[in-house]
Amino acid sequence: MKEYETIINKIYTILNSFCKSGRIIEEKVKEVFQEAHSTILKNETKLLNNQMILIKEKRLFFGALNNLDNVIQKMQFTLINASKMHENPITAYQCKELLPYMSNLAQEIDTLGEKYHEHKVYKIFDLSRVLRKRAANVNLYPTLMEEIEQINLQGGEISEFVEEFNNRLQSEIDLA
Amino acid sequence: MLILVDSSTLIAASVFWEFSKNGYLITAKHNAVCDDFFKIIKSTKDTTCIITKTTEEESKAVLNKIVNDIVERKFNSLPSFLKMFSLMKLQDAVTQASTDRLEKIVEEISSRKPIDMTERESIKKELYAFFRENVPKTFKYVKPTMPSKLPGPISSKREILDAMAHELLNSLPVKGIIYRGFPEPKDITLMAEATYLYRSSQTKEKVYIASLDNHFKPNPIQVTHDLTDRLVFSGKVDSTIRDMLEEKFGFRGDFPGEIIKELTKKDIIKKT
């Protein structure tokens, strides 16, 4: 099933219409982008619950889905904002520039299926990194702070992670 | 002037994010020095900075290993799916932000020079021979042997050993050379590349390796003895092996901050 390609096609249709008419229907944008977000969330959940996949591969595939999700959510926010501020269609053109990268990534995710071959997961992650960088260049990727603010962890849990990361980093650099 | 960078310097410069709202800070030790180092090198015309593909890949692998180890340890012990999901989001944000910084440094600062692989392998053999000959003569730290019959209580024995350790320290390098131990293959490869670049310039080019790793730079002299677990930094460094490497192979390994100081002294970097 070409689940992701279908989503990207729907986004493409919205952006095309935005470029032509200079207007968007906010409800339609929300519907399509929300559907994209829900699909990604469903796959992330499935991935994390799959006991057969190694943490290393889980992290890579999760990272790829997360990159795509972050771009899609930022795009939704930017498009709706642009419409309100009458900044169209420049924003729509910027979003359209990302579509080839989103489409490449979507195709690979669709062909991955349930098998999570290591080389395929690496390829997907690399494609998502390209998308992430391109999106960041046109301000269509959330900043690190925006990303962290979305994370549902208590202060102590974040501190614990930070402390462990710093300690391990120190010993790795010492060993390097 | 060529400056090769090893993975420790690249990682230290790449890992920094501050969540100012809640005051969380993830930062590698020496981040400020390494970050400044790259900024200065970027604006200096007479230096060429080289970050090899191997160094870049290794640095990313180290970052991934750190995060992977944490996630592996925590993942199955988390009380709910929501926590598990949030941990994945957090680790991904940290890893990818650090990787972004790392790739930016490489893209903006690094040049690539051609390296003859056959020649490099031949230089590696010379380096292995050098280390096989010299590492057995070195010590990782100063540790006086405890005399079998030492009078008095433990506290006075500790005082005697402290004094002995300091005496030994003053006799270095006569009694011993301080060095980290045999370098890893990746370190030897970087040294061979630095040597190759030095020799291929007909020894005209000054070649540095910027590193936090004691296999490249002068080693801090640390003192310990049998009645303590602590390693105390004496405030001195032993550069014997580093200097021997420079003499024989032509590259000079140093802490990034020291390289900047030296370039400033030579007026290659203008004093601000």
Q: What is the pLDDT of residues B81-95, one digit of tens each?
A: 888 899 999 999 989
The pTM for the full model equals 0.85
Comparison of pLDDT for A176 and B120, the residue scoring more? B120
Confidence label for A116 from pLDDT (cuts 50, 70 and 90): confident
Question: pLDDT at position B106, please?
Answer: 96
Inform me whether the C-beta atom of residue A52 falls under 8 Å from chain B C-beta atoms: no
Question: pLDDT at position B151, please?
Answer: 63
Question: pLDDT at position B155, please?
Answer: 66
**A84 exposure class (CB count in 10 Å sphere: 0-12, 13-18, 19+):** exposed
Q: How far is A10 from chain B (nearest CA, A)?
A: 26
Average pLDDT over residues A48-77: 94
| Percent with pLDDT over 90 in chain B | 56
Closest-approach residue (CA) in chain B for A142: B93
> Are B19 and A158 within 8 A, CB to CB?
yes
CA-CA distance, B55 to B225, in Å (whole number)? 36
Q: Which residues of B, range 103-122, sit inside 8 Å of A by Cβ? A: 103
Q: How far is A174 from chain B (nearest CA, A)?
A: 7
Confidence label for B266 from pLDDT (cuts 50, 70 and 90): confident
User: Any residues with CB less than 8 A from the CB of A148 and at least 6 apart, and which?
Assistant: A158, B19, B90, B93
The answer, yes or no, to whether residue B214 has pLDDT greater than 80, is yes
Average pLDDT over residues A52-60: 91
* DSSP helix, strand, coil percent of chain B (3-state; round to 5): 55, 15, 30
Domain chopping of chain B, boundaries: 2-111, 117-245
CA-CA distance, B196 to B204, in Å (whole number)? 12
The answer, yes or no, to whether residue A88 has pLDDT greater than 70, is no
Closest-approach residue (CA) in chain A for B17: A144
Average pLDDT over residues A92-107: 94
Question: pLDDT at position A176, please?
Answer: 44
> Are B90 and A150 within 8 A, CB to CB?
no
Question: pLDDT at position B156, please?
Answer: 72
The answer, yes or no, to whether residue B147 has pLDDT greater than 70, is no
Question: pLDDT at position A1, please?
Answer: 62
State the number of CA atoms in the 13 A half-sphere of B81 facing the CB.
9
The answer, yes or no, to whether residue B103 has pLDDT greater than 50, is yes
| Interface test with chain B among A48, A67, A124, A172, by most B beta carbons within 10 Å | A172
The answer, yes or no, to whether residue B198 has pLDDT greater than 80, is yes
> Are A172 and B212 within 8 A, CB to CB?
no
CA-CA distance, A88 to A18, in Å (whole number)? 8
CA-CA distance, A147 to A154, in Å (whole number)? 15
Question: pLDDT at position B169, please?
Answer: 64
Inform me whether the C-beta atom of residue B18 falls under 8 Å from chain A C-beta atoms: no
Q: Which residues of A, range 65-84, sit inside 8 Å of B by Cβ? A: 66-67
Inform me whether the C-beta atom of residue A9 falls under 8 Å from chain B C-beta atoms: no
Interval A25-51: pLDDT, tens:
888 889 999 999 999 999 999 999 988
CA-CA distance, A117 to A114, in Å (whole number)? 9
CA-CA distance, A44 to B178, in Å (whole number)? 51
Q: How far is A153 from chain B (nearest CA, A)?
A: 6
**B26 exposure class (CB count in 10 Å sphere: 0-12, 13-18, 19+):** buried
The answer, yes or no, to whether residue B172 has pLDDT greater than 70, is no
The answer, yes or no, to whether residue A22 has pLDDT greater than 70, is yes
Q: Mean pLDDT of all residues in chain B?
A: 86
Kindly compute the dihedral angle of the four CA atoms of residues B243, B245, B250, B253, in this order, to the nearest 10 degrees. Answer: -70
| Interface test with chain B among A59, A73, A118, A157, by most B beta carbons within 10 Å | A59
Comparison of pLDDT for B25 and B240, the residue scoring more? B240
Q: State the residue for tokens 């400044």.
A: B36
DSSP state for residue B142 in the 8-state scheme: B
Comparison of pLDDT for B271 and B206, the residue scoring more? B206
